[in-house]
């Protein structure tokens, strides 16, 4: 892959703005006025995971939080602030937790292969792997093992969402957004909806009770 220079990035920005203004002269005035995105996307930091491109959405439609291996961490003040703001102020209607096959963070959790802080960050996923070891180790290829753990991780992170005080408050008040678990296949560009039965998880006993 040939990477653009910094100058080319800025030039691309100018030509993109010019194109937008040709078709919609008021585009940026409207964009600057407010944001009312219906979606919160919790995704992996991986450079191949800009959900807007895969879903043909525009600026203003998806509020975003990304970290390595798309984790919902109950101690991450960054994530919790995003979640609180998305729910309390933006009133998003949907939360999408989207992982991906071939995820380096998942691989690190499965194989303990990195050298550095990532190992600490993905440790909860390593714990998940140890819980599901029989199922994952029974798969015949490394790729299948990494991809299955990516799916199980999405399920675990959606369950974690139901452990947040922020979401539990909206569930009690009857105005919670719908939660979706997706996995994107980088080899096809297609998104798999995990069809999670989230309504069954709404009353999961919080870990702190
Ligand atoms: Co990833």
Concatenated DSSP letters for the chain? -PPPPHHHHHHHHHHHHHHHHHH-TTHHHHHHH----SEEEEEE--TT--HHHHHT--TTSEEEEEETT----TT-HHHHHHHHIIIIIS--SEEEEEEETT-HHHHHHHH----SHHHHHTHHHHHHHHHTHHHHHTSSSHHHHHHHHHHHHHHHHHHHHTTSHHHHHHHHHT-PPEEEEEEEETTTTEEEE----GGGGTTPPPTT-
Taking the centre of ligand 1 as the mean of its atom positions, its distance from the CA of residue 205, in whole angstroms, is 29
How many whole angstroms from 191 Cα to the centroid of ligand 1? 14
State pLDDT tens for residues 21-40. Answer: 999 999 999 999 999 999 99
pTM above 0.75, yes or no: yes
Q: Which residues are catalytic?
A: 44, 46, 48, 100, 103
Strands 178-185 and 94-100: parallel
Taking the centre of ligand 1 as the mean of its atom positions, its distance from the CA of residue 149, in whole angstroms, is 12
Work out the average pLDDT over 189-202. Answer: 89
Q: Where in the chain is the domain with CATH 3.40.1050.10?
A: 35-204
Per-residue pLDDT at 201 exceeds 90: no
Q: What is the pLDDT of residues 50-72, one digit of tens each?
A: 999 999 999 999 999 999 999 99
Q: How far is the CA of 66 from the centre of ligand 1 (A)?
A: 10
pLDDT in tens, 114-162: 778 898 999 999 999 999 999 999 999 999 999 999 999 999 999 999 9
Q: What CATH number does domain 35-204 carry, 3.40.1050.10, 3.40.50.300, 3.40.50.1110, 3.50.50.60?
A: 3.40.1050.10
């Amino acid at each position: 892959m040939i990477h653009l220079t910094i100058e080319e990035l800025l030039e691309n920005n100018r030509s993109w703005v010019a194109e937008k203004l040709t078709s919609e002269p008021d585009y940026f005035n409207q964009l600057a006025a407010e944001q009312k995105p219906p979606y919160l996307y919790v995704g992996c930091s991986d450079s191949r995971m800009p959900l807007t491109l895969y879903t043909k959405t525009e600026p203003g439609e998806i509020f975003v939080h990304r970290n390595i291996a798309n984790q919902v961490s109950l101690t991450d003040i960054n994530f919790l602030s995003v979640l609180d703001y998305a729910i309390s102020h933006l009133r998003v209607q949907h939360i999408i937790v989207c992982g991906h096959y071939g995820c380096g963070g998942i691989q690190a959790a499965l194989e303990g292969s990195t050298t550095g802080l990532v190992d600490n960050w993905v440790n909860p996923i390593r714990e998940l792997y140890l819980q599901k070891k029989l199922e994952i180790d029974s798969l015949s290829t490394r790729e299948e093992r990494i991809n299955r753990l990516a799916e199980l991780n999405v399920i675990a992170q959606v369950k974690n969402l139901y452990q947040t005080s922020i979401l539990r408050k909206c569930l009690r008040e009857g105005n919670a957004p719908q939660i979706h678990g997706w996995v994107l296949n980088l080899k096809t560009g297609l998104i798999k909806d995990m069809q999670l039965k989230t309504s069954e998880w709404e009353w999961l006993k919080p870990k702190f009770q």
